[in-house]
Amino acid sequence: MTPEQARQAQATVERALGGAEVNPYEMFRAQVDLAGQKLGYPADILELVKRPERVVEVSIPVRMDDGRIEVFTGYRVQHSSARGPYKGGIRYHPSVTLDEVKALAGWMAWKCAVVDIPLGGGKGGIVCDPTRMSEGELERLTRRYTAMILPVIGPQHDIPAPDVNTNSRIMNWVMDTATALRGEPMYGVVTGKDLAVGGARGRREATGRGVVIVMEELLAQLGKRIAGTRVAVQGFGNVGSVAAQLLHEKGAKVVGVSDVSGALYHPEGLDIPALVAHVARSPQRWIAGYTAPGVEALPGPEVLTLDVEVLVPAALEGQITADNASRIQAQVIVEGANGPTTPEADLILEARGRVVAPDILANAGGVIVSYFEWVQNLQNFYWDEEETHERLASLLRRAFRGVWDHAQKHGVSLRTSAFMLGLERIVEAIRLRGIFP
């Protein structure tokens, strides 16, 4: 990289770090530049990797239960198809922005490359608050959104999946809508479905299970084991709750958990099965209201700075920042969420000797098993759950070893190593395919 290109990379980093709020797409672009600088790639190739191939914005009119029509904004971003069809979830959240979806699509492309599965990166989102919508309103929202993006999705082109505030029920609606409008079975148009309509056994738990597999591998490299390890989990949704449950079963002490309703702490470890049962009974599926001897309620952000050995941020992006990175006590951070650590916080953590298993490796279990589901849909041949678990563990362990060995060889952090590996694979695919026309 020339001095001028290096200055451009630094400028991008400074933009990502500037201001009180972190722009996720600027964060993504900064990460591409940092990895590209290490690899000596020219600026034009990096610009190609940073930009999404297609951005779709749609207006989604929905008739609400009270009879009025509300118009929602939805997005589908297709970042890279260099290594295969676009792949990535759909999230429903009030804070969804186009830049957020663009960043998430880019990270998905990188994630698929790091774990070496033949898929590209995509992402979708709708600006809405699903907690304030009825089931009928959510169904009408989902079906209209599907109809609006159907021209650009499909089993050989772009395969969505669940993400924040979406689940198998919503994926079932996407598949059914696509099937009705196309007039042919479309089981492979989306992953994360229920088993009766083409889902894969083990898909729901895949991301949380992958977090635990990566944690186990990382701790082994550090001469530690999961049993007896004190862990805090930020976010008790699908990823965080599954990870906490599996860690509890493996003998870890999950001393703190949090969600949007607050945080819970017990110095000797929370009763995770009881907490999971409480959340299942809660109308909003929150941890709020759970009580047990020795359990203390805390403000939600405090879960990040608890006295633990391992921290699992499994909520939203941008949670570990320059404001709190110096107060994080965990020696190991395993990222269950997408983009939970800002670039500036990364530098602080690295300077303090913290080891971070990056999101594009640690939470790749979901996309790996989504890949498995897609393969099974295309073949109309389905595996049992044990086979899914074994294949997931094999792929993730291979990916972890590649990232770990690459980091040791080049003297870089695990995140930089993962970015370099992923970028190398994406750029190699672009090189081999060439630029059309």
The verdict on residue 425 lying in a domain is no
**Domain count within the chain:** 2
206-221 and 238-249 helices, crossing angle to 10° = 50
The verdict on residue 318 lying in a domain is yes
Q: Does residue 248 share a domain with residue 151?
A: no
* CA–CA dist 430, 48 (Å, integer): 9
Q: Does residue 305 share a domain with residue 163?
A: no
Q: Does residue 249 share a domain with residue 160?
A: no
Q: H or E element: which one contains 427?
A: helix 414-433
The verdict on residue 194 lying in a domain is no
The verdict on residue 420 lying in a domain is no
Is it true that the peptide bond before 52 is cis, omega within 30 degrees of 0? no
CA nearest to 345, candidates 108, 109, 27, 34: 27
Tokens standing for residue 210: 């992958």
Distant-in-sequence, close-in-space partners of 409: CB < 8 Å, separation ≥ 6 = none
Which amino acids are annotated catalytic? Answer: 123
Which phi and psi (to 5°) does residue 201 adopt? -65, 130
Q: Does residue 149 share a domain with residue 20?
A: yes
In the sheet where 69-80 sits, what is the strand order? 54-63, 69-80, 121-127, 86-93, 158-162
Place of tokens 């088993």: 195
**Among the three residues 341, 357, 373, which one is the final residue of a domain in this structure?**
357
Sign of the C-alpha dihedral, residues 78, 80, 83, 87? negative
Q: DSSP string covering 31-51, please?
A: HHHHHHHHHT--HHHHHHHHS
Which 3 state secondary structure label does DSSP give 78? strand
The verdict on residue 430 lying in a domain is no
Instruction: Using alpha carbons only, give the angle 334, 338, 343 rounded to the nearest 5 degrees.
Output: 80
Give pLDDT, residue 21.
64
Which 3 state secondary structure label does DSSP give 234? strand
Q: H or E element: which one contains 369?
A: helix 365-379
The verdict on residue 196 lying in a domain is no
Distant-in-sequence, close-in-space partners of 15: CB < 8 Å, separation ≥ 6 = 23, 26, 30
Which 3 state secondary structure label does DSSP give 77? strand
**What's the CATH number where 47 sits?**
3.40.50.10860
Residue ranges in 69-156 assigned as alpha helix (H): 98-114, 135-149
User: Counting every residue, how long is the chain?
Assistant: 437
Q: Does residue 160 share a domain with residue 28?
A: yes
Tokens standing for residue 400: 């972890």
Q: Does residue 224 share a domain with residue 136?
A: no
Question: Domain of 45?
Answer: 3-184
Q: Do 84 and 425 contact (CB within 8 A), yes or no?
A: no
**Among the three residues 327, 357, 387, which one is the final residue of a domain in this structure?**
357
Neighbouring C-beta atoms of residue 322, cutoff 10 Å: 15
Give pLDDT, residue 204.
85
Residue ranges in 263-356 assigned as alpha helix (H): 272-281, 343-351
Pairing of strands 158-162, 86-93: parallel
* CA–CA dist 350, 412 (Å, integer): 10
The verdict on residue 367 lying in a domain is no
The verdict on residue 278 lying in a domain is yes
Give pLDDT, residue 5.
44
Q: What is the pTM of this model?
A: 0.89
**What's the CATH number where 333 sits?**
3.40.50.720
pLDDT in tens, the chain (437 residues): 444 544 444 454 444 444 446 788 998 898 899 899 999 999 999 999 999 999 999 999 999 999 999 999 999 999 999 999 999 999 999 999 999 999 999 999 999 999 999 999 999 999 999 999 999 999 999 999 999 999 999 999 999 999 889 999 999 999 999 999 999 999 999 999 999 999 999 988 999 999 999 999 999 999 999 999 999 999 998 899 999 999 999 999 999 999 999 999 999 999 999 999 999 999 888 999 999 999 999 999 999 999 999 999 999 888 999 999 999 999 999 999 988 998 889 999 999 999 999 999 999 999 999 999 999 999 999 999 999 999 999 999 999 999 999 999 999 999 999 999 999 999 999 999 999 99
Residues 270, 272, 274, 277: what is their CA dihedral angle, to the nearest 10 degrees? Answer: 140
Give pLDDT, residue 16.
47
Give pLDDT, residue 238.
87
